[in-house]
Amino acid sequence: MQNILRFFIRYRMVLSLLLLQSLGLSLTYARSLAHENLFWANVLERQAQWRGWLHSWEAYLNLRQENNVLIAELAKVRSAQEPDTTKPAVQAYEEFGFDMIPGRLMFVSHNSAEPWGLIDIGTNAGLTPPFAVLGTKGIVGIAYEASEHFSRVTPLSHPSMRISASAERTGHFGTLQWHSGNTRYADLVDVAYEAQLKPGDRIVTDARSELFPAGWLIGTIERVEVDSTQFTQTALVRLAADLNRQQGIMAAFNLRKAERDSIAP
């Protein structure tokens, strides 16, 4: 206690000056509107900084809860997009000598040298690869591999794809193969020189195919080139099916293939 008294006695002048200065500032702020506004502005600014700092920590501490909510929502969206494999297999129906089973093209990947796709139909529907995959607007490709609920599709945009095709208007046939550089185009090659192909002609599957029903749309001709040395024509065909989007499909299995092969030479 004596030390405290000695401190006040020793520094009484300094403490008195500080007290008077504090009193003077208080009276100045109390009687001056400008200083009062400045004081409260500083107070509010400090409060805002404190609340911002506090809320940032609250948001950081709530990140785990928000992440859990986002994970739950993402799982819900994915479950809505993925096929429900608990549903019974769709019953097939016969048309033009083919088993037709409706399904959906889930995706086609063009990120590698060998494009591939996936459909939500498998061996549980009674299908045995290979079988044709027909889109709502045109053919998609051929399924060569299948699991119980899914099948892997080789699309028309695959470099090795070859399909028998013909011009619907003239009946002249050729071979459809992928046109490198664009997934929406293919070439119809080895068409007879005398065929009067024109831009706008529809190209369809023909009866030579063992996998595709005849007359199913492939695309339309955009350009025709004549090779006078080989006496053939080549047509640039814009594919009817957009292989870059999800769409409804029909899996078509040829029921008469074995009978046809039995009488072939």
Sole residue written with tokens 């399909």? 163
Q: Length of the chain, please?
A: 265
**DSSP three-state, residue 66:** helix
By the 8 A CB rule, do 238 and 200 touch? no
Residues 214-233: pLDDT tens digits? 999 999 999 999 887 778 89
b/e string for 234-247 if b means 16 or more Cβ within 10 A?
A: bbbbbbbbbbeeee
Q: Which CATH architecture has domain 96-263?
A: Beta Barrel (2.40)
- Per-domain boundaries in the chain: 24-81, 96-263
pLDDT at 96: 63
User: DSSP secondary-structure letter at 91?
Assistant: P
- For the segment 202-223, the average pLDDT, to the nearest whole number, is 92
For residue 117, which of 253, 216, 251 has the smallest C-alpha distance? 251
- Whether the per-residue pLDDT at 79 is higher than 90: the answer is no
Which range of 11-25, 83-97, 194-208 scores highest in mean pLDDT? It is: 194-208
The DSSP letter of residue 95 is E
Which two tokens mark 213?
Answer: 């029903």
pLDDT tens per residue across span 106-117: 999 988 888 999
The pLDDT score that the predictor gives to residue 57 is 60
- pLDDT at 87 > cutoff 50: no
Average pLDDT over the chain reads 81
**What is the predicted pLDDT for the residue at 30?**
61
Per-residue pLDDT for 80 more than 80? no
Q: Choose from 31-40, 73-82, 232-241 the range with maximum mean pLDDT.
A: 232-241
Q: What pLDDT, on a 0 to 100 scale, did the predictor assign at position 3?
A: 73
The residue whose two tokens read 């994915």 is: 78
**3 state DSSP class of 185:** strand
DSSP per-residue string spanning 116-129: EEEES--GGGT--S
